[in-house]
Structure 1
Amino acid sequence: MKNYLLVGAGFSGAVIGRELAEVGHQVTIVDSRSHVAGNCHTERDPDTNVMLHVYGPHIFHTDDQEVWEYVNRFSSFKDYTNRVKTTSRGQVFSLPINLHTINQFFGKTLRPDEAKAFIEQQADTSIEDPKTFEEQALRFVGNDLYEAFFKGYTQKQWGCHPSKLPASILKRLPVRFNYNDNYFFHRYQGMPEHGYTRLVEGILDHPNITVKLNTRFERSQAQDYDHVFFSGPLDGFFDYEQGRLGYRTLDFEKFTDKGDYQGCAVMNYGEEEVPYTRITEHKHFSPWEEHEGTVCYKEYSRECGPDDIPYYPIRLVEEKEMLGNYIALANQTTGVSFVGRLGTYRYLDMDVTIREGLDAARQFLSHVERGETVPAFFVQPL
């Protein structure tokens, strides 16, 4: 039996901690916040009893059957289909762009094959190898759809013109030539019936796991444990000695109303003139519940400051160079492995975070059993 320290009580820390605890090791998990589940934290609104996604909405979706079965061990899940709407030019459209969106936007009644040919005519085929977000969008959907649905929203979300962003951000352009408005393609989709915090609490519910909230990690603590798994900010572990990695953060303006405010869970605002990126109405994330009141969040994106919660890693040229320096430092550090979204400076969906947590725990145990050196990263950040 060994003693392991997990820094961060989000999905990474909880999953790795549970795997180690189940084979008999003692696990301590610390988190600087007053709750578990990290940015997936959910809680009941005291006035309306609506389940709030405190740090913004999270919808569970995956094609990974083992991950789906894993989360269902610790919480009952309810069916949930994410259907997103957006306002543009005085109308409400369906996202991702689908046959209904195309016909409504262009005032047509195209069939799937006709719509595909029509969009190909809109596309800027002179762009053979898109390098930027803007070029990627123009190449595949043309200027009109780009201006209406991508340009303003992206500029607000990332704080810079889409011509400054890499094409990889828009890896697979979400355009469908049918009327399917399910935002995700994945086989398994749903919501934990009692929220994500209850789900993570279930993962952490093991006699070999001790959770300490409102507790900051100090590097000197590492010597008290056989190994440390760090899911906090990679640059923060090294006291930002190479500088701060860039993130976008979110501000939320909460407001309440009676009845149904917007008729859907997520309404995007694609125009740059509207300062917020979207409004989320949280009762719609639990459609099996009934509430007289409603709670909405206006969501604003901005550059992350030293005291802000980091959400989206920027990963442009400057950040990648700095990240390389931190990776070199991490590889020189023994007894610590860096995991999760912040520890590897990558945007990760929940299912990928859980998959990587399961894999990291198994790789770690295998390394220990063979007497091998445990790597700083189980998944390479670059």
Structure 2
Amino acid sequence: MKFLMVGAGLSGAVIGREMAEAGHDVTVIDARDHVAGNCHTERDPETGVMVHVYGPHIFHTDDDEVWEYVNRFMSFEPYKNRVKSTTQGAVYSLPVNLHTINQFFGKTMRPDEARAFIEEQADTTITDPQTFEEQALRFVGPDLYEAFFKGYTEKQWGCSPTDLPASILKRLPVRFNYDDNYFFHRHQGMPRDGYTPMVEAILDHPNITVRLETPYDPSMRDDHDHIVWSGPLDGYFGFEEGRLGYRTLDFERFTAKGDWQGCAVMNYGDRDVPFTRITEHKHFSPWESHEGSVLYREFSRECGPDDIPYYPIRLVEEKAMLADYVARAEAETNVTFVGRLGTYRYLDMDVTIREALDTARAFLKSDATGAAFPIFVNHPL
């Protein structure tokens, strides 16, 4: 069969590689001039620093198969994400842990004492948190909420935490020990030479043709048996039902000599600081040594028609529009929607790869049995 992968990010690359290894003919197109999508990395010519062009991407997973898969194409170096936060005139460790709690409240509590103390701070009258704010007040109380979550969240999402679902905060742990590793997965690391060479290696197969700076045109359907669409779901339909809401990011890049902030990620929790965080990219490759440094100040705002979509909003209005697009998608033939944009879901890199592998296996099963290929292997709703 002839497959057209629309998008040369992780979804298109992994599915394309699996189908190519099964003997199918694969063409991968992307409107950008590089592969790897938003995890694209490149060397800064001035400093030699490996820059995460669209913001930092840190690989972490408990999925052994996915970990083995990425290491097949690029060796990974150990990397622990240790985030700091500047708020109310001091610097703290995130996620909120025993050190954060003791430092913030000026105490020297043991884990059991801190757990009881935080429970005293919490609003126990909230028994079924529905909003982000209720979730935070129930589990950490007003002081930690104001310092670490409220202002940052208002900047990141452009709305009051009372308008966001509680589920957003459920991904942010509070620890009653001194573990400041932001993630808890067994496998954590960074590709030694960057994500873009890794994706290039995935795409390096005689049955794969890659065409960059090539936007999708509907006429391409005529030359292929099946399309794998990893672009925006609403974009496939020309935004005819309206545009699904996203947040986008603006980066204010600057360079410095030496070590500018001493860590890879510094959050800024105060509402009157306009950016959400500063990332110092050489710290994402701690096995390298560079005299110069490249940093990004990161600003979040509503995504416009010409912006890069980052975070799907998925509030009530967007979910209603999403249902309309899903209904239209399910009436299509010879196309499968995949990935973060194609299914309008926030996905970490490891989940993206897992879903891509599952999609390829679903294709091979359908091909073997003569069944129709699925429109969605991972449903958006």
Partner of 1:88: 87
- Aligned 8 A contact 1:137 1:173 in 2: no
Partner of 1:215: 214
- Aligned 8 A contact 1:88 1:269 in 2: yes
Equivalent residue runs for 1:2-21 within 5 Å: 2-21=1-20
Q: CA deviation at 1:365?
A: 1.1
The 1-side partners of 2:198 and 2:152 are apart by 32
The 2-side partners of 1:173 and 1:84 are apart by 12
Q: Secondary structure at the match of 2:140?
A: helix
Residue by residue over 1:218-273, the C-alpha shift from the partner in whole angstroms, topping out at 9 and shown as x without a partner, is 12211211100000000000000000000000000000010000000000000110
Partner of 1:290: 289
The 2-side partners of 1:371 and 1:226 are apart by 14
Moved over 6 A (4+): none
Residue 158 of structure 2 aligns with an amino acid whose one-letter code is G
Q: Secondary structure at the match of 1:66?
A: helix
Unaligned runs of 5+ in 2: none
Q: Secondary structure at the match of 2:238?
A: coil
The 2-side partners of 1:273 and 1:378 are apart by 43
The 2-side partners of 1:71 and 1:373 are apart by 29
- Answer yes or no: is 1:270 the counterpart of 2:241: no
Q: CA deviation at 1:170?
A: 1.1
Residue 369 of structure 1 aligns with an amino acid whose one-letter code is A
Equivalent residue runs for 1:120-269 within 5 Å: 120-269=119-268
- Aligned 8 A contact 1:331 1:375 in 2: no
The 2-side partners of 1:274 and 1:88 are apart by 10
Partner of 2:312: 313
Q: CA deviation at 1:172?
A: 3.9
Please report the RMSD computed on the Cα atoms of aligned residues, expressed in angstroms. 0.6
The 2-side partners of 1:108 and 1:219 are apart by 63
Q: Secondary structure at the match of 1:221?
A: helix
Q: CA deviation at 1:23?
A: 0.8
Q: CA deviation at 1:174?
A: 1.1
Partner of 2:337: 338
- Aligned 8 A contact 1:247 1:312 in 2: yes
Residue 242 of structure 2 aligns with an amino acid whose one-letter code is G
Q: Secondary structure at the match of 1:85?
A: strand
The 2-side partners of 1:40 and 1:222 are apart by 28
Partner of 2:328: 329
Moved more, 168-177 or 315-324: 168-177
The 2-side partners of 1:343 and 1:239 are apart by 13
- Aligned 8 A contact 1:6 1:17 in 2: yes
Q: CA deviation at 1:109?
A: 0.2
The 1-side partners of 2:365 and 2:278 are apart by 46
The 2-side partners of 1:70 and 1:57 are apart by 21
Q: CA deviation at 1:368?
A: 1.7
How many residues in Structure 1 have an aligned counterpart in Structure 2? 381
The 1-side partners of 2:325 and 2:288 are apart by 46
- Aligned 8 A contact 1:12 1:231 in 2: yes
The 1-side partners of 2:375 and 2:121 are apart by 47
Residue 36 of structure 2 aligns with an amino acid whose one-letter code is A
Q: CA deviation at 1:374?
A: 1.5
- Aligned 8 A contact 2:26 2:209 in 1: yes
Partner of 1:70: 69
Residue 282 of structure 1 aligns with an amino acid whose one-letter code is H
Q: CA deviation at 1:173?
A: 3.9
- Aligned 8 A contact 2:17 2:208 in 1: yes
The 1-side partners of 2:173 and 2:155 are apart by 19
TM-score normalised by length of structure 1: 0.99
The 2-side partners of 1:175 and 1:291 are apart by 34
- Answer yes or no: is 1:371 the counterpart of 2:360: no
Q: Secondary structure at the match of 1:178?
A: coil
- Aligned 8 A contact 1:249 1:312 in 2: yes
Partner of 1:22: 21
The 2-side partners of 1:300 and 1:64 are apart by 32
The 2-side partners of 1:122 and 1:173 are apart by 18
Q: CA deviation at 1:354?
A: 0.2
- Aligned 8 A contact 2:95 2:172 in 1: no
- Aligned 8 A contact 2:42 2:196 in 1: yes
The 1-side partners of 2:185 and 2:2 are apart by 38
Q: Secondary structure at the match of 1:125?
A: coil
Q: Secondary structure at the match of 2:141?
A: helix
The 1-side partners of 2:191 and 2:207 are apart by 25
Q: Secondary structure at the match of 1:171?
A: helix
Q: Secondary structure at the match of 1:46?
A: coil
Partner of 2:53: 54
The 2-side partners of 1:172 and 1:58 are apart by 17
Q: CA deviation at 1:71?
A: 0.2
Residue 286 of structure 1 aligns with an amino acid whose one-letter code is S
- Aligned 8 A contact 1:219 1:237 in 2: no
